[in-house]
């Protein structure tokens, strides 16, 4: 395992942080995912990150009916993702889709990572669930329709070590510290941030996670209006380890494209070696 701060100097990777406006019909959403993945790969992306709820945005009870058994590549959602990764030769991280759990009404919210051969490399179950009453009167109770995960996940892909998370996880820096201590160099944050919270907190939190972890951040996003009156903020973006926004998607469906640079990562971690100065570490 690569320790924090142990960075090879010769790696580069083009990444696409995808921005969607997913609705309540899975086939139509997957059709958009196919188009965007194809476009991102054609522009050189070796890693494509899809936002949370990429395949379905709507009622939680209906969402549960789309839950699939993990690793079932004959299932509609996972089968489509596997095929896309294989056809375009990319790592495809699908950030938040219903996975069957022990409770049929409360699936896991799971990020899936497919490799260039179409294989399911790993998965991450969202740990922190969004249960809030917002000032604009909007109420969310993600725990009513989702079972939380409990395990951080890192993986090696395309020459970098990736740390997985989903949306509301962004507000819990201890998760990202744990990912960094496990060697993460790139933090993936596929999201469906509300307009109300996103306009004030999205950029600030993503840049903070990049700075404190001295890591790249790739944040896919949902944008626009969805069923049941939900409105999301968008602004899919890529941040470098110094906290500089490298690329940001405008309003609409598309993606933010940027290069991850091993030398840049090494320079930041060497010039300000805060990851080596931690005093409070996990037991």
Domain of residue 143: give its range.
12-275
- Does residue 62 lie within any of the structural domains? yes
State the chain's maximal CA–CA distance in angstroms: 50
Least Cα distance to 195 among 264, 138, 111, 259 occurs for 138
Give tens-digit pLDDT for 126-146. 999 998 877 766 677 888 999
Instruction: Give every CB contact of residue 25 below 8 A, 6+ residues apart in sequence.
Output: none
- Does residue 1 lie within any of the structural domains? no
Provide the domain count of the chain. 1
- Does residue 165 lie within any of the structural domains? yes
Q: In angstroms, rounded to a whole number, what is the distance separating the alpha carbons of residues 255 and 95?
A: 14
- Does residue 2 lie within any of the structural domains? no
Q: In angstroms, rounded to a whole number, what is the distance separating the alpha carbons of residues 87 and 155?
A: 22
Give tens-digit pLDDT for 34-69. 999 999 999 999 999 999 999 999 998 999 999 999
Task: Tell me, letter by letter, the H, E, C secondary structure of 55-120.
Answer: CCCCCHHHHHHCCECCCCCCCHHHHHHHHHHHHHCCEEEEEEEEECCCCCCCCEEEEEEECCCCCE
- Does residue 29 lie within any of the structural domains? yes
- Does residue 112 lie within any of the structural domains? yes
Task: State the pLDDT at residue 4.
Answer: 45
Q: In angstroms, rounded to a whole number, what is the distance separating the alpha carbons of residues 111 and 103?
A: 18
- Does residue 281 lie within any of the structural domains? no
The model's pTM: 0.94
Per-residue pLDDT of the chain (283 residues; tens, 9 = 90+): 344 444 445 799 999 999 999 999 999 999 999 999 999 999 999 999 999 999 999 998 999 999 999 999 999 999 999 999 999 999 999 999 999 999 999 999 999 999 999 999 999 999 999 988 777 666 778 889 999 999 999 999 999 999 999 999 999 999 999 999 999 999 999 999 999 999 999 999 999 999 999 999 999 999 999 999 899 999 999 999 999 999 999 999 999 999 999 999 999 999 988 888 888 876 5
Least Cα distance to 11 among 163, 185, 211 occurs for 185
Please identify every residue annotated as catalytic: 52, 126, 167
Task: State the pLDDT at residue 159.
Answer: 95
- For residue 195, the domain's CATH number is 3.60.110.10
- Does residue 282 lie within any of the structural domains? no
């Amino acid at each position: 395992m690569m320790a924090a701060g142990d960075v090879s100097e010769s790696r580069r990777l083009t990444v696409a942080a995808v921005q969607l406006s997913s609705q309540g019909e899975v086939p139509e959403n997957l059709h958009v995912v196919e188009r965007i993945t194809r476009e991102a790969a054609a522009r050189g992306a070796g890693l494509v990150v899809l936002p949370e709820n990429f395949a379905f945005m709507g009622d939680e009870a209906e969402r549960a009916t789309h839950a699939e058994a993990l690793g079932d590549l004959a299932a509609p959602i996972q089968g489509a993702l596997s095929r896309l990764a294989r056809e375009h030769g990319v790592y495809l991280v699908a950030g938040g889709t219903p996975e069957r759990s022990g409770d049929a009404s409360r699936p896991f919210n799971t990020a899936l990572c497919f490799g260039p051969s179409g294989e399911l490399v790993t998965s991450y179950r969202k740990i922190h669930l969004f249960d809030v009453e917002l000032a604009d009167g909007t109420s969310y109770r993600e725990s009513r329709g989702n079972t939380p995960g409990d395990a951080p996940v890192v993986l090696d892909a395309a020459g970098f070590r990736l740390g997985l998370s989903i949306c509301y996880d962004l507000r819990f820096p201890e998760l990202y510290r744990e990912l960094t201590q496990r060697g993460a160099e790139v933090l993936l944050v596929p999201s469906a941030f509300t307009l109300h919270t996103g306009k004030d907190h999205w950029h600030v939190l993503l840049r903070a996670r990049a700075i404190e972890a001295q890591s790249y951040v790739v944040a896919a996003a949902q944008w626009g209006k969805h069923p049941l009156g939900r409105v999301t903020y968008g602004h899919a973006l890529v941040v470098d380890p110094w906290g500089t926004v490298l690329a940001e998607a405008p309003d609409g469906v598309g993606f933010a494209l940027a290069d991850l640079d091993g030398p840049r990562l090494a320079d930041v971690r060497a010039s300000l070696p805060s990851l080596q100065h931690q005093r409070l570490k996990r037991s």
